[in-house]
Amino acid sequence: MANTLQAQLVGLSQRIYKEWIAKTVLVQSCDRSFEGEFNLERNEIDIPVYHDLSVHKTTLKERELKPAPLEFMKSSTIRVTVDKARYSHWGHLKISTIVERLSQEDSETRKKLVNRWAREAEDELALWVAGLPSRQEIDLSALLADQTTNPNGLLTPDNIVLALDILKAKIIEKNMEVADFRLFTSERFRSIARDAKILTGANLDANEPFRKGFVDIINGIKIYEHECAAITTRSASTGLVIEETAIWKSTDGIQYVVPYKNTIAYDIPPTEVLMGAKGYQTVEYYDFFNLYPTRLYKVKIKYAVSS
């Protein structure tokens, strides 16, 4: 093999991707499938489109005489332009050193990179959801507000079930399945559920407990806990979350694609390093899309400063 080290770096890039994805909650919950090969020149990739089948109604006689027009799925994919990239430079110029540092099973260097990328990806995605237009917002603080007992619309153990009912109703009114959706919240939501004594710990789906962030199924809703500081506001004194943007989404609510992962060499000019050299960077091209706005919501929740 002419260059086993270079090949090793390629494998390591995939390994890094696999490891950082496993550390995420939000990113992991997205649809990450794509088809074909990433076009490096045009930055394009095909991602799946989940069609809705139409149902025609007729009488049996009419159906025999006049069948409904043929409907071919025009395309099961849509071509999107990938516009984001993340990369980390390696502070070594020798490829053998980089490979050695990254390939060990308990490599601290790799662990650091993986943690950093997971955190950055989670925060970026969470902030993007928080910036969705108001038509994709469910403001629980407004919906739970009661001028006499709860003027600020805080989420409390007394109204948490009502809050979850509202979320379910928003889905049902659009003829969608509540079971397709998951709620991503901060740890404060778990505390409220615990205080309301509705955190049962009874898992209806045997697979869910093994997914990172899974809390419980409460009132028929799968609750996940994320750690995105970017979409929470904390009390200056207690540190408890007093306001947050929760995320109420289905898997296909966000399509998150990472169609290219590699570790590549680049030239470092003599102005940077004496006589110039080759540097290395691990790079990933990625982007995320919301093709179905009705399947992704941001949920405004407010909590009391102290429980």
Partner 1 sequence: MEKKEKVDSSISEYFKDLLDDIELDEETEEESEEETEEESEEETSAEDDGGSDDLEEESEEEKRRREEEQRRKNKNAEEARKRREREAKEKKARDKLEEQRNELGRQLVDFKKKYPDIDLAALDNDKRFARFIEGKLLGKKDFTQLYEEYVDFVKEIGGTAGIDIQKEHMLKERSSSGSSRSSGGYVSGGSDVYSERDLERIAARIPFMTEKEAMQVLPKFEKSIEFYKNKK
Q: Does 37 bind partner 1 (CB under 8 A)?
A: yes
**Residue-wise DSSP of 68-136:** PPP---S-SEEEEE--EEEEEE-S-S-HHHHHHHHHSTT-HHHHHHHHHHHHHHHHHHHHHHHTS-GGG
DSSP state of 150: B
Min. distance of Cβ 260 from partner 1 in angstroms?
5
CA–chain centroid gap for 265, Å, is 30
In the complex with partner 1, the residue whose CB is nearer, 28 or 185, is: 28
- Report the candidate in 230, 246, 229, 296 with the shortest Cα–Cα distance to residue 139: 246
Q: Does 29 bind partner 1 (CB under 8 A)?
A: no
Q: Does 305 bind partner 1 (CB under 8 A)?
A: no
Helix (H) or strand (E) holding 36: strand 35-39
Q: Is residue 211 a contact residue for partner 1 (CB under 8 A)? A: no
Residue 131 within binding range of partner 1, rule CB under 8 A: no
Does 88 participate in binding partner 1 (rule CB under 8 A)?
A: no
> Pattern 2-21, binding to partner 1, x per CB under 8 A?
x-x-xxx-xx-xxx-xx--x
Per CB under 8 A, does 98 bind partner 1? no
Q: How many CB atoms lie within 10 A of CB 66?
A: 9
Neighbours of 11 (CB within 10 A): 12
Does residue 42 touch partner 1 according to CB under 8 A? no
- The answer to whether 184 contacts partner 1 (rule: CB under 8 A) is no
Give the residue with the Cβ less far from partner 1, 18 or 63: 18
Shortest reach from residue 15's CB to partner 1, in Å: 7
What is the contact surface with partner 1 in residues (CB under 8 A)? Answer: 1-2, 4, 6-8, 10-11, 13-15, 17-18, 21, 32-34, 37-38, 259-262
